Amino acid sequence: MHITGDQHLVKKINKSIVLETIKKKSPLSRSQISELTGLHKGTVSSLINELIEEDLVFEIGHGLSSGGRRPVMLLFNQEAGYAIGVNLGVNFILVILTNLQGEVIDEKTTYFEQTSLDVVIPMLIEAIQAMIARAPKTTYGIIGIGIGVPGVLDDKGTILLAPNLGWENVDLHRILTDAFQIPVTIENEANAGAIGEKEFGFGKEDANLIFVSVGIGIGTGILLNGEIYRGASGFSGEMGHFVIETNGKKCKCGSKGCWELYASENALIEQARQFLVDESGDQTLDINTLVAMADSGSARVIHLFNQIGEYIGIGISNIINMFNPELIVIGNRLAVAEKWIKNPIMRIVEQSTFPFIRRQLRISFASPATDSIALGAAYTATKSFFSNTKVWVD
Amino acid sequence: MHITGDQHLVKKINKSIVLETIKKKSPLSRSQISELTGLHKGTVSSLINELIEEDLVFEIGHGLSSGGRRPVMLLFNQEAGYAIGVNLGVNFILVILTNLQGEVIDEKTTYFEQTSLDVVIPMLIEAIQAMIARAPKTTYGIIGIGIGVPGVLDDKGTILLAPNLGWENVDLHRILTDAFQIPVTIENEANAGAIGEKEFGFGKEDANLIFVSVGIGIGTGILLNGEIYRGASGFSGEMGHFVIETNGKKCKCGSKGCWELYASENALIEQARQFLVDESGDQTLDINTLVAMADSGSARVIHLFNQIGEYIGIGISNIINMFNPELIVIGNRLAVAEKWIKNPIMRIVEQSTFPFIRRQLRISFASPATDSIALGAAYTATKSFFSNTKVWVD
DNA sequence: AAACTTTGTTGATCGATTGTATAAATGGGA
DNA sequence: TCCCATTTATACAATCGATCAACAAAGTTT
């Protein structure tokens, strides 16, 4: 069975084009939409009236005349419904509430120490529950819940493996659907980050964007031709296990010389521990501590960041040469060390990539203020809402 | 301006679905097509009649009854037109003539030694001209010319750089369009190979397929979600310049330790030359000679193939971990050494890739009998014919 | 031979875009 | 102030393509 064409499909396509246009360029008049999209005036009129009926668009009043009748300006009704977005981390749960435009209305972070299912799942449900309770009443209510998870998923939303949480075969989709009776979408953390950056971050104009999540390990969210690339078994993006040293250290994945052995938060802390025992006692080492030490001038720590940065740069160079993307965003924990790792990364990238590829390329660090993973997760929920129930074709 | 929907689009979609169904599963009756596609009987009838009118489909006679009126069986008219496919190599021009189904009707190889434009372009034009002259007369005649080129192209069919031919900024599209007044499509060699394997080779069922062209250098054709991936500047697939040894040999690309320094035909021959001067005089070394020597038991050559195979395996492992493809096809010159490099490649891949990724993965060598590059090139011409003038939406 | 099945066509209907005419609102100029 | 061109938006008929239903054609089964 194929997706065959009929008038309903045509209408869905055009309605989605009209709504997208309003979302991106409002305020707009009907006639401007007609010109921008190439659709006939009458078509636009009737579609707009349906969208107003559905409370997704509203009239804001008259605009300025350009020599004739004054246009009626239209706005997207961002507040017709809200979406929940969750970044499920290794020691925290970040829940955000966004409107249909992806603007953050509310947010709350909860921390945990034990990662066992019995502890985390109830906390997760409670956190979402609390956020739903705080959401204002709207036409469509909570239209969906999107979650970003640090692990490998199948296409039905089961977590096959989340090594840093110690989870295996957790049917999170079922658990949350049962708990809330609301559509749930689950996405890998790095993929969600890529989506977030594409929709709300630095990558709005880019069709090819790669989100490099440098945390305990390294994961990558690959967005090609505007869509997440998943591979044959939903398991692409395991770039942490690139071989960058043919005869390097042994990795638990079975290979040798894997990238994340040299360039992750784990690598950083492990190496720091070797010389910091004497330098500063047995304090708990984490990345924020190390950044603080570098800021206050510790040469050894600065040198360590430099080294880690170079290794990150090697992997990123491989990514660049392979994917020739428009944008690379470095996110997750190590992004806070931007100040200390940016230069070595850039230096290596300039050495190891083609000039004509670099010309189309930008590299940036995810802003610590906005959580692109939670934003991306919320966006998947919104998108699913539109494609399943209302407009949108994809 | 977007691609908006109207009835013409609907018809194009459905007509293309009907034709594709016939191409893939003929002989078929109208009613079977209706069931397979989900389209209404009447719709199928009218579309089929148009296709018959256009000479793209014909009735072959009655099929067997299944308890009622006997069906009229339909066939795709593969011979309604022919396409030219060209593999422009570093020392040869292979021209093939295919029907609309991609079956090779005729083929001819011409060899050349000087790669200067003045020599090669006239030869190319003459070779194509000769093939066109030999083609039988059909309804649509020669519907297009497709060319696979070992170099970097822009989106208008200009060769920006073909290092092994010594060409730069050659507007091949214009040259050939002027010469033949027929639609011309130009594609990178490795991309054409990927398309050929997808349509006619081992990859028919696969959406994610990577063609690794191991010749003088290493190029890759990346087919994701059923489409060639080109990257931001049409320049992805430069995987020959992966870094696999962080402190390895210097490469002319400016980096160090690039894959193709260790795993290409160049690497093979260079290393062979070092010890073969004394072993067999100053014969001209090429890959066929080396394969022959291995076949007759030269331990050193066998060991060399083993080593090159292992390095190929390392790069392929990286590709696998990154793309998680269904299929990898190893093509171009080194494919003839399958017997000697297959095992080391496989051994390394098994060591360096995840088991769950391998489960969905096949690795094969391009068959030397069929040239997937020329086939893929011819297919791009056929596809362009259908999408521009007749049915097909993409 | 009658009844049922399968295949394929034909004409009516539906639904969506488009084209044309028209109405409404406005600015510019005589 | 009045008239007209212009811009905006709607209304209604025309058109095109898919679907639906009825029917004809050609079998098979009982």
Give the nucleotide with minimal C1' distance to the Cα of B6: C17
The mean pLDDT value for A336-357 works out to: 92
Which among A257, A343, A93 has a CA at the least distance from the CA of B242? A257
Looking at CATH, the fold of the domain delimited by A7-76 is given as Arc Repressor Mutant, subunit A (1.10.10)
Rounded Cα distance between A215 and A293, Å, is: 19
Kindly report, residue by residue over A228-285, the tens digit of the pLDDT: 998 887 766 667 787 788 788 888 777 788 898 999 998 999 999 887 765 555 567 8
* Count of Cβ atoms closer than 10 Å to residue A218 Cβ: 29
How confident is residue A303, by pLDDT bands cut at 50, 70 and 90?
A: very high
pLDDT of A7 over the 80 cut: yes
Q: Which nucleotide is nearest to A68 (CA to C1')?
A: D7
Interface test with A, best of B17, B324, B392 (most A CBs within 10 A): B324
Residue A179 clears pLDDT 80, i.e. is over it? yes
The minimum CA-CA distance between A359 and chain B, rounded to whole Å, is: 9
Within this chain, domains B7-76 and B205-365 share the same CATH topology: no
C-alpha to C-alpha distance for A240 and A163, rounded to whole angstroms: 13
Q: What percent of chain A has pLDDT over 70?
A: 95
Which of A6, A17, A317 minimises the CB distance to B10? A6
Pick the residue with more confidence: B279 or A149?
A149
Number of other CB atoms surrounding residue B1 within 10 Å: 7
State the DSSP code for B127. Answer: H
- pLDDT at res. B389: 61
Closest protein CA to C1' of nucleotide C28, residue: A67
- Answer CATH for A204-365 from 3.40.50.1980, 3.30.420.40, 3.20.20.450, 3.40.50.300: 3.30.420.40
Q: Residue B354 — very low, low, confident or very high, per pLDDT cuts 50/70/90? A: confident
Looking at CA atoms only, how far is residue A116 from chain B in angstroms?
25
Kindly report, residue by residue over A124-148, the tens digit of the pLDDT.
999 999 999 999 999 999 999 999 9
Cβ-based neighbour number of residue A19 at 10 Å: 22
User: Which residues on neighbouring strands pair with residue B28, listed in sequence order?
Assistant: B74
Region of poorest pLDDT, from A128-137, A233-242, B95-104, B184-193? A233-242
- In whole angstroms, what is the distance from residue A158 CA to residue B302 CA? 47
Closest CA to A81 of A63, A64, A105: A105
What is the reported pLDDT for B241?
80
Cα–Cα dist B125/B136, whole Å: 19
Q: For the sheet containing B28-29, what is the strand order? A: B28-29, B72-76, B57-62
Q: How many CA atoms, within 13 angstroms, populate the side-chain half-sphere of residue A110?
A: 21
pLDDT averaged over chain A?
Answer: 91
The structural domains of chain A, with segments of one domain joined by +, span 7-76, 80-195+372-389, 204-365
Give, in Å, how far the C1' of D21 lies from the CA of B211: 52
Domain spanning B205-365: CATH superfamily: ATPase, nucleotide binding domain (3.30.420.40)
Query: Please, which positions of strand D sit below 7 A from a protein CB?
Result: 5-13, 16-22, 24-29
Terminal Cα distance for chain B, rounded: 18
Contact A4 B17 (CB under 8 A): yes
Instruction: With a cut of 60, say whether residue A392 has pLDDT above it.
Output: no
Q: Which nucleotide is nearest to A5 (CA to C1')?
A: D18
Judge whether residue B383 has pLDDT over 60: yes
Q: Which residue has the tokens 């990577």?
A: B210
How much is the average pLDDT of A368-393? 86
Report the DSSP beta bridge partners of residue B170. Answer: B159
Q: What is the spatial distance between Cα B4 and Cα A36, in angstroms, rounded to a whole number?
A: 11
Domain A80-195+372-389 adopts which CATH fold?
Nucleotidyltransferase; domain 5 (3.30.420)
Phi-psi region of A2 (alpha: psi -120 to 50; beta: other; left: phi over 0): beta
Residue A221: beta bridge partners?
A: A211
Per-residue pLDDT tens for B52-89? 999 999 999 999 999 999 999 999 999 999 999 999 99
pLDDT at B157 over 70: yes
Surface-to-core class of residue A162, CB atoms within 10 Å of its CB (0-12 exposed, 13-18 middle, 19+ buried):
buried
Alpha-carbon distance A122 to nearest alpha carbon in chain B (angstroms): 31
Strands A327-331 and A209-214: parallel
Q: How many CB atoms lie within 10 A of CB A283?
A: 9
pLDDT for A322 beyond 90: no
Place of tokens 């934003």: A375
CA of A43 to C1' of D4 (A): 29
SS3 readout for chain A: CCCCCCHHHHHHHHHHHHHHHHHHHCCEEHHHHHHHHCCCHHHHHHHHHHHHHCCCEEEEEECCCCCCCCCEEEEECHHHCEEEEEEECCCEEEEEEEECCCCEEEEEEEECCCCCHHHHHHHHHHHHHHHHHHCCCCCCCEEEEEEEECCEECCCCCEEEECCCCEEEECHHHHHHHHHCCCEEEEEHHHHHHHHHHHHCCCCCCCCEEEEEECCCEEEEEEECCEECCCCCCCCCCHHHCECECCCCECCCCCECECHHHHCHHHHHHHHHHHHHHHHCCCCCCHHHHHHHHHCCCHHHHHHHHHHHHHHHHHHHHHHHHHCCCEEEEECHHHHHHHHHHHHHHHHHHHHCCHHHHCCCEEEECCCCCCHHHHHHHHHHHHHHHHHHCCCCC
Select from A4, A168, A209, A252 the residue whose CB has the most chain B CBs within 10 Å, as the one to mutate to test that interface: A4
> What is the spatial distance between Cα A201 and Cα A166, in angstroms, rounded to a whole number?
31
Residue B249, min C-alpha distance to chain A (Å) = 13
pLDDT of residue B285: 82
C1' of nucleotide D29: residue with nearest CA: B67
In chain A, which residues have their Cβ closer than 8 Å to the Cβ of B19?
Answer: none
Separation in Å, CA B138 to CA A56, B55, B146, B147, B346: 55, 10, 19, 22, 47
Q: Which of B6, B208, B360 sits opposite A10 (nearest CB)?
A: B6
Q: What is the mean pLDDT of residues A33-62?
A: 96
Say if residue B393's pLDDT is above 60. no
User: What is the percentage of chain B residues whose pLDDT exceeds 90?
Assistant: 74
Residues of A in contact with B40 (CB under 8 A): none
